[in-house]
Every structure is written in C-alpha cells, then in structure tokens.
C-alpha cells in the first residue's frame, strides 16, 4: 500500500510539472540529445496531454453525473435508447483528434527514415553476446564486449554490483562518433536477432541475420550515452551493453588516428612473462569464453563442456590450438584471435587455479604460429623462423615449478 501511494504521488507531481528529475526519468519518456529524440519526445508529450485532457473531461463528467444525480437526492434514471446526434458527435470528435495527431506522427516517421546523404557510415553487427563495429570508409573495425568488472561481479556469487560503476552498462571498447555530423548506421546480425538501443538517440533498430536495417543520428552535444540490446537474443542477453561516446571533431580525429595506428601495428611476438600471460589470458577468457564455460570453468551440464580437468584442454597443445581455431557446431571459430591472445588464453586455461587446472606450462605468441605463418607475416626476412630462436623450436615450452614461481 505504501509503494502504491508513493507511485500515485509521483504521478500526480509529474503531471503537475513538480516532480523531481528522478521521477520524470523513471516515469516519463527520455528527452534525448538528438533532433529525432526531441521530435519524438514532443510528439509523446502532445499525445499525453491530449489523453490527460480527455481523461479528466470524461471521468469528471462521469463523477459529477453520478454524484449529483444519485438516487438519494430523488433523481430517477431516464429511459432512452439511441440518439443519432450523439452518436455522430462521438464519432466525429475522436476522428478529428486522430487525424490531427496523425499529421505530426507522420512527419516524425518520415524523419526517422531520412537516411540520405550521410557524412559517415558505421556497420553494426550483433553477435552472441557482443557488438561488432566497422567504420565504413576509414578501416576501423573492433568488437565491443561487456567490461571485465561487470563480467566478474555478475558471475561471482557474493560480490556487490554497486561496487562497479555503471554495472552492466559499460564496455571495453565504446563506439566513438563525432558531434554535429549525420551518421548512418547499418544493422545486421551473425547469429540470432539482436536490437541496438540507446535511449538518448531516440530510436532502436533490430539487427537480423541476413538482412540490413538502417537508421541515422545527429548528435549535437559531446557526452557518453549508454544503451543495451533489447531483443531476447539468448541466455546472456542482459549482458550486451552499448556505449556511445560523442566527441568534438578535433578529438574524434585524434581518436581515429590513434585507433588506426594501434590497429595497424605489427603483430607483437615478443616474449612475455608468465604473470603477464596469465593476467592477459584471463581478460581474453572473460571476453570470449566465460559465457558458455562459466567463470569457474565448469561449463553447463548438457550444454557446454567443463574446462576444469578436461583432457582436451590439458592434453596435446597442437590439437587444442586447432580445436579453438576451428570451432564446433556450438562453439564459434576463434581464428580471429591474434597469436598473442591465443598464447595468453591457452596459458590461462591450462594453468588457472580458478578453472581448476595446473599443467604448469606456458606458451609464447610466437609458438602459436607455424613457420609458414611467420614467412607470410615477414616476407622480407630470409628465415622468419629465426624470430622464435630465443624460444627454441616452435613447440610448447615446459617450465619447472621453480621457474614458474620465480616468474610470478
């Protein structure tokens, strides 16, 4: 009863324009930061106040009639049937209202579809359970996953979600866009139906496999805007956040340059410490594997196999590499993983106490590549295999317990 009263009070205050900002954002449509979102918000408020006026008029008349024409005051109900004039009036008035509302609504729908003459285009691909962004025209291409802090908290019992800023609404790689530029988005999906929604942009779009939807935006103010996937796309549907960072053009240009420089860097095949391999391997695991195999590596019985104590994980390294890169009917191919990520991941899953494995070995990025791979990557070097000379042959390097302890 107390909560009902509080809700009613918030509704009354909001209707009177006296509600707090929290009440307004909780109970009303978000205004947003784009022309489209403001247009939709204004249309929403117009319809809302017309509905409020109609509701007050209709229910006010009903209550007045019931109270002042009650039986205790000696009133007797009139007995009448049909009235052509009244029926015409109550048909014409709603029709006029609907036609009047259809005009601004039609303009809003037309504006939503004005995906013409964009100044830049971004392809958005929904995948279970992350987003893939490709900037058409400049070569930037990256994936955006739920951030590690949120990933760890929501998969570990006993941890307080309030300890993580923007819990379940933060990502490792946000989508960065310039302000005051018309941006076209092209939406598709690689597996199931997803839906890309950032409330402050004013719209959402489904991402369907084998089909392309489009939308556009024009953000006027710099800022960080958050959203989520709003389609039930699988068991981890709730962990597909979206973060859009809008920057002034000068800052955006600097971000593009830095991102392209990083993206075009040569493969890092340098030797890493065991501690670094394990720490970075955990990040790779949380980004690519934890959804199915779980944070403790025990998987889901009947669906996803356990990594803990798995012969496939702790056994022959060449077979493990081939399995991870090839994938299965349930597990996607991870050929996308660069050599350093693959080395870090394999070192982690074979030696993580959290996963219950301790093979006591480690693998360097160079060891993940065949000699043919090295020759392709470094065609100007007569014997690319010499790049791995400090690691010995391109085979697993077994380390002793003493050296393992020392490196950590």
Task: Tell whether 77 is covered by a domain.
Answer: no
Co-location of 297 and 344 in the same domain = yes
Co-location of 108 and 124 in the same domain = no
Co-location of 251 and 315 in the same domain = no
Q: Which of 204, 235, 263 is the last residue of a domain?
A: 263
Task: Tell whether 223 is covered by a domain.
Answer: yes
d(CA 398, CA 70): 94
Would you state the structure tokens that stand for residue 185, as one six-digit string? 């988005």
Co-location of 103 and 126 in the same domain = no
Would you state the structure tokens that stand for residue 376, as one six-digit string? 């392709």
Task: Tell whether 268 is covered by a domain.
Answer: no
Co-location of 328 and 223 in the same domain = no
Co-location of 175 and 282 in the same domain = no
Co-location of 330 and 348 in the same domain = yes
User: pTM here?
Assistant: 0.78
Task: Tell whether 39 is covered by a domain.
Answer: yes
Range of the domain at 324: 274-407
- Count Cα neighbours of 371 within 13 Å in the Cβ-side half-sphere: 9
Co-location of 399 and 285 in the same domain = yes
Rg for the chain, CA atoms, rounded: 30
- Whole-angstrom CA distances from 386 to 372, 391, 404 are 12, 10, 25
Q: Which residue has the tokens 């070995």?
A: 361
Co-location of 383 and 292 in the same domain = yes
Phi, psi of 208, deg, nearest 5: -105, 135
d(CA 296, CA 181): 45
Both ends of the chain: CA-CA distance in Å?
58
Going by the DSSP 8-state scheme, the letter that residue 143 receives in this structure is: E
Q: Do the Cβ atoms of 225 and 213 come closer than 8 Å?
A: no
Co-location of 236 and 177 in the same domain = yes
Task: Tell whether 76 is covered by a domain.
Answer: no
Task: Tell whether 222 is covered by a domain.
Answer: yes
Residue 173, classified by CB atoms within 10 Å of its CB into exposed (0-12), middle (13-18) or buried (19+), is middle
Q: Which of 35, 341, 335, 46 is nearest to 202 (CA)?
A: 35
Q: Do the Cβ atoms of 242 and 130 come closer than 8 Å?
A: no
Residue 366: CATH number of its domain? 1.10.760.10
Residue 153: CATH number of its domain? 2.60.40.420
Co-location of 169 and 190 in the same domain = yes
Co-location of 221 and 324 in the same domain = no
Task: Tell whether 22 is covered by a domain.
Answer: yes
- Count Cα neighbours of 274 within 13 Å in the Cβ-side half-sphere: 18
DSSP H or E stretch at residue 110: helix 84-112
Going by the DSSP 8-state scheme, the letter that residue 33 receives in this structure is: S
Task: Tell whether 234 is covered by a domain.
Answer: yes
pLDDT in tens, the chain (408 residues): 555 656 566 556 555 554 444 444 467 888 889 999 999 999 999 999 999 999 999 999 999 988 988 888 888 887 877 888 889 998 999 999 999 999 999 999 999 999 999 999 999 999 999 999 999 989 999 999 999 999 989 888 888 888 899 999 999 999 999 999 999 999 999 999 999 999 999 999 999 999 999 999 999 999 999 999 999 998 889 999 999 999 999 999 999 999 999 888 876 778 889 999 999 999 999 998 998 899 999 988 888 899 998 898 998 888 888 888 888 877 888 887 888 889 999 999 999 999 999 999 988 888 887 655 655 555 554 444 455 544 444 333 333 333 333 333
DSSP 345-363: HHHHHHH-TTTT----EE-
Q: Do the Cβ atoms of 186 and 212 come closer than 8 Å?
A: yes
Q: What is the count of structural domains for the chain? A: 3
């Amino acid at each position: 009863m107390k909560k009902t009263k509080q809700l009613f009070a918030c509704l009354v205050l909001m209707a009177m324009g006296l509600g707090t900002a929290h009440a307004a954002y909780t109970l009303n449509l978000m205004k947003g930061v784009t022309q489209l979102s403001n247009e939709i918000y204004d249309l929403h408020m117009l319809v809302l106040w017309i509905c409020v006026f109609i509701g007050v008029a209709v229910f006010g008349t009903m209550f007045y009639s019931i109270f002042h024409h009650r039986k205790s005051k000696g009133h007797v109900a009139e007995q009448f049937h049909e009235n052509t004039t009244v029926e015409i009036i109550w048909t014409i008035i709603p029709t006029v209202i609907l036609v009047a509302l259809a005009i601004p609504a039609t303009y809003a729908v037309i504006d939503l579809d004005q995906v013409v003459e964009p100044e830049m285009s971004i392809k958005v691909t929904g995948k279970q359970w992350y987003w893939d962004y490709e900037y058409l025209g400049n070569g930037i291409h990256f994936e955006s996953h739920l951030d590690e802090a949120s990933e760890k908290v929501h998969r570990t019992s006993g941890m307080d979600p309030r300890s993580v800023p923007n819990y379940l609404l933060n990502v490792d790689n946000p989508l960065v866009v310039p302000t005051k530029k018309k941006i076209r988005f092209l939406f598709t999906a690689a597996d199931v139906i997803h839906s890309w929604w950032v409330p402050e942009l004013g719209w959402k779009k489904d991402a369907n496999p084998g089909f392309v939807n489009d939308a556009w935006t024009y953000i006027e103010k710099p800022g960080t805007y958050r959203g989520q996937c709003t389609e039930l796309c699988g068991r981890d549907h709730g962990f597909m956040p979206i973060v859009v960072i809008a920057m002034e053009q000068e800052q955006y240009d600097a971000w593009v340059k830095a991102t392209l420089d990083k993206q075009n860097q040569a493969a890092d095949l340098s030797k890493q410490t065991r501690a670094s391999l394990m720490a970075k391997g955990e990040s790779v695991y949380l980004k690519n594997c934890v959804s199915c195999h779980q944070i403790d590596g025990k998987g889901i019985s009947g669906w996803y196999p356990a990594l803990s104590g798995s012969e496939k994980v702790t056994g022959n390294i060449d077979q493990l590499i081939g399995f991870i890169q090839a994938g299965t009917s349930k597990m996607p191919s991870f050929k996308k993983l660069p050599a350093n990520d693959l080395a870090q991941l394999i070192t982690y899953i074979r030696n993580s106490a959290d996963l219950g494995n301790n093979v006591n070995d480690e693998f360097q990025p160079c060891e993940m590549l065949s000699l043919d791979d090295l020759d392709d990557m470094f065609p100007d070097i007569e014997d690319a295999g010499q790049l791995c000379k400090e690691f010995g042959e391109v085979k697993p390097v077994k380390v002793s317990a003493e050296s393992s302890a020392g490196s950590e």
